[in-house]
Amino acid sequence: VGVISAFNFPVAVWAWNTAIALVCGDTVVWKPSETTPLTALACHTLLRRAALEVGADPQVHQLVQGDATVGEALVDDPRVALLSATGSVRMGGIVAPRVAARFGRCLLELGGNNAAIVAPSADLELAVRGIVFAAAGTAGQRCTTLRRLIVHSSIADQLVERLSSAYNQLPVGNPLDDGVLVGPLINERAYTAMQAALLRAQDEGGEIVCGGERVELIGSEAYYVRPALVRMPAQTELVREETFAPILYVLTYDDLDEAIALNNGVTQGLSSAIFTLDQREAEQFIAGSDCGIANVNIGTSGAEIGGAFGGEKNTGGGRESGSDSWKAYMRRATNTINYSTELPLAQGIHFG
């Protein structure tokens, strides 16, 4: 059916898209992020090995390493029928018009400034586990990472105290070691962005409850940090931005409509969640969230495999995985076959 080019993909998204594409009969050209070349090579090698073991042609999947110029070549190549891209909103804003200019198709999965609402009826023990995993796991470097926590004012102090206690116990270290939830930031630029965001948060009236400091583990070129918990007086300009680091901003609300408005008050619309034991509140949230994912009593990340993964607004609108995702990887054709020797024409037209 064509060639799929995907770049800046996390491994999980690569696995979903590649599997669907191959099942649909497509060939795949993968351009990964230049910051993760070894991971990409390992994935490519495993897929080729699997293809050989089942007697398939290993050439159906190709890996192309390089910088942004390689990605641009794939974006502009008319042989690329579908370009599936995961990355920043900025990247999507550049890619989509260029692909559209050549009448190609895009499947975009972009930013996620994800929020969770904690209602007064919530099971706080369950909520703390879900919040900490979603906010601190993978050092906050996941598209579905929890970045905004919207807590009812009557339980905000109690919940922040519990979260602070949990954050102070988080083991930071080698993510390959058992029990380690928080590994390193990917590079110095990510660390610098995190520190700049924490300074801005304080300038905008925020209070750093805990975390944010660097942890010296390996050397000067490794950037391990403690996840940060920050109370904010309002959903400021900074909070509405996505900082790809383990920072959780805590906001308060008094009315559920207000909380849903805060959830929706960002340009991204990927994942969202509510912690509540009130069924009416849960249903009101599901109906009101403008995100592609709306969870109840579970965090914003970790449960999306198998579902229709993707989001609305600046997240791009695409869907990866899920029961209908295969449709993006195929072309629809109408076929009319005449098995007779006659050719009846419309309106009773006859040729003499």
Catalytic-role residue among 24, 43, 106, 143: 143
Fill in the amino acid letter for 320.
E
**What is the C-alpha separation between 6 and 298, in angstroms, rounded?**
30
Catalytic residue among 106, 109, 210, 242: 109
- Burial class (CB within 10 angstroms; exposed 0-12, middle 13-18, buried 19+) of 182: buried
Concerning whether 109 is annotated as a catalytic residue, the answer is: yes
Distance CA 207, CA 47 (A): 47
Task: Confirm whether 72 is a catalytic residue.
Answer: no
Q: Which helix (H) or strand (E) holds 48?
A: helix 37-53
HEC string of 119-185 equals CCCCCHHHHHHHHHHHHHHHHHCCCCCEEEEEEECCCHHHHHHHHHHHHCCCCECCCCCCCCCECCE
Task: Write b or e for each residue in 50-83: b if 16 or more Cβ atoms lie within 10 A of its Cβ, otherwise e.
Answer: ebeeeeeeeebbebbeeeeeebbebbebeebbbb
What is the DSSP secondary structure assignment for residue 315, as one 8-state letter? T
Residues annotated as catalytic are: 109, 143
